[in-house]
Amino acid sequence: MNKKLSDEEKLSRIRLNSFFFLRTDWIWRFLEIYGSASEILKKSPKDLAIEGGLSFDTAEKLFDKALNCRPDEEIELAEKSGARLIFFEDEEYPQLLKKIYDPPLMLYVKGEMNSQAAVAVVGARKPTIYGIRVCSKLSRDIALSGITVVSGLARGIDSVAHDSVIRSKGITFAVLGAGLNVLYPRENKKLSEKIIDTGGALISEFPMLTQPLPQHFPRRNRIISGLSYSTVVIEGSYRSGSLITAKSALEQGREILAVPGHIDSEMSKGPNKLIKEGASVCETAMDIILSLPTEALCNLNLDPKRIKSGADKSEELKIEKLNEFEKGIYKLIADSDSGIVMDAIVHKLGCSVPAASGAVFELEIANLIIMSDGKYKKSFAAN
């Protein structure tokens, strides 16, 4: 399937891709039977039902959706938003993703997709402080090694992973469970812009205006793992979406790593279960690096001193950007061994509560401090 697609075939692929209720392995099967998307669309629902094995009802829905799709408008919509369409046969289509059982027919991409080795980092939408701390450090360290971090732009671990990579001047890909013009969740709009600005990409297989329906996310998850040599799971319950991503990675023959957690924590049940079932234990970035095949180690910077110095430099840059008042609060918190409450900050600095709250918020956003047991403490990711 290395042939260059004609314009007619591309338009037909866009039409077929609009019916995203059918798994792509079915579409690939039809392409093998009929030779092209153009030929598939010349058939009737009855033909697809008899020759392709679909139910007549599903075949009718496929044709109804495909023939009502306006591919020219879809292309124009993508171009206006700064995105482009990449088809399976295009050189830019990720080689690792091509190897999975049911690769997307096409991808909508905003930003750049480099050829660096990539690792998926996924986890709970409501992580604990432990999960946030571990995710921040692991994502930062593997980014400093020259590895692209892939995640899903969801709340929680996904957002922490993307943000930590960006702050480390690394590259990250976000795979969405909706169209690129329907960003979800909305609060991650600025984060999505930073991903693109720092050399990463937003990726989706769904048409531009597709809504983030629940059934889209398992499909999204197979792309996250499909783009990655290894998948790292950081927190999640038994029913967590991150375990679906791990399952996809397993089906794709990729490595699975899990960060162990407290046995009495609901958020640790997923990773601990994966470890029991044979997933590798992940404690450091080196565990992730060692999971990569030889071919993926080319062009990586594996010097531990660089990772440490890079982390230190990142920390210094964050502190430099603070104003003098914020620096004063940060020093007060960093110098406290057991943490400090808001009232103590206000009392020691002689400032107002709103002023202190605003500064503390900025420090939390920069991942310099965390709140634990009602006290503000220096973030472990900043150590």
* Extents of the domains making up the chain: 1-69, 110-304, 321-382
User: What is the longest distance spanned by two Cα atoms in the chain?
Assistant: 79
Q: Are 76 and 259 in contact (CB under 8 A)?
A: no
pLDDT classification of 321: cutoffs 50, 70, 90: confident
**Three-class DSSP category at 372:** strand
Question: Which pLDDT tens digit goes with each residue over 173-227?
Answer: 999 999 999 988 889 999 999 999 999 999 999 999 999 988 899 999 999 999 9
- Number of Cβ within 10 Å of residue 221's Cβ equals 25
Fold of 321-382: Arc Repressor Mutant, subunit A (1.10.10)
Domains 110-304 and 321-382 share a fold: no
- Residue identified by tokens 């609009």 is 18
List, in order, residues 6 or more apart from 70 with CB less than 8 Å away.
Answer: none
110-304 CATH fold: Rossmann fold (3.40.50)
SS3 177: coil
Report the mean per-residue pLDDT for the chain: 88
340: DSSP letter: B
pTM of the model: 0.79
The tens digit of pLDDT for each residue in 263-320 reads: 888 889 999 999 999 999 999 999 999 899 888 887 776 665 554 555 555 566 677 7
Find the distance separating the first CA and the last CA of the chain, reported in whole Å: 49
45-88 pLDDT, tens per residue?
Answer: 888 888 878 888 988 888 888 888 999 999 999 999 999 999 99
Structure tokens at 20: 């995203």
For 131-172, write each residue's pLDDT tens digit: 988 999 999 999 998 999 999 999 999 999 999 999 889 999
